[in-house]
Structure formats: structure tokens, C-alpha cells
Amino acid sequence: MSRVTVYSTASCPICVRAKTMLDKWEIAYDEVMIDSDEAALKEFAEVTNGARTVPQIIIDGNPVGGFSELTELHMDGELDELMQQD
């Protein structure tokens, strides 16, 4: 299991952008498609404290937000710090 989980839907272009960035930064992630799996949708609601938008990115079980927040973490150098922690 990866340390990063991306909750997304099949029709979300911002989800694609977030996953493309993670791929570019060579950060492994698990993708959970919430539009085709009722159990995944329930998990999404619980893990993200009721978030209503995708993508939602979780690192080590902690919600960090969506694409904008992921990009901000990267630009501030905090994403590298998070990924270096064990």
C-alpha cells in the first residue's frame, strides 16, 4: 500500500492533473475511484471528513486537500519533507 492515496472520479480533469504531477515527481500513489464503488464513496467521506470535491489527496492517512494544496505543498518544499518521513 502506498503512503499516498488519491480519491478521484473518471470524469475529473483536475484529478488527471494531480495524478500527472505525482507521476512527474515520482511519488507512488493508490487511486480510489469513488464514482463506481459505493464502499469507496463511503470511505472517501469518512477519510476526508465529508469533502465534496475531487481530487482529494491523503498522505499517511492525513488529508492534505486537492490539486491546489498538493501543488502548494510541493512549491513550499513541504511535500518533499512529508515524503522523506518514515
Q: Distance between alpha carbon 9 and the CA centroid of its chain, in Å?
A: 12
Give the residue extent of every domain in the chain: 4-84
Residue whose C-alpha is closest to residue 5's, from 50, 43, 52: 43
Give residue for cell 475511484: 33
pTM for the full predicted model: 0.93
Task: Check residue 11 and report its DSSP letter.
Answer: T
CATH for the stretch 4-84: 3.40.30.10
The predicted-structure confidence for 28-56, as pLDDT tens digits, reads as follows 999 999 998 999 999 999 999 999 999 99
Give the per-residue pLDDT at 71.
96
Number of residues written out for the chain:
86
Give the per-residue pLDDT at 2.
79
Q: How confident is the model at residue 85 (pLDDT cuts 50, 70, 90)?
A: confident
Q: How confident is the model at residue 82 (pLDDT cuts 50, 70, 90)?
A: confident
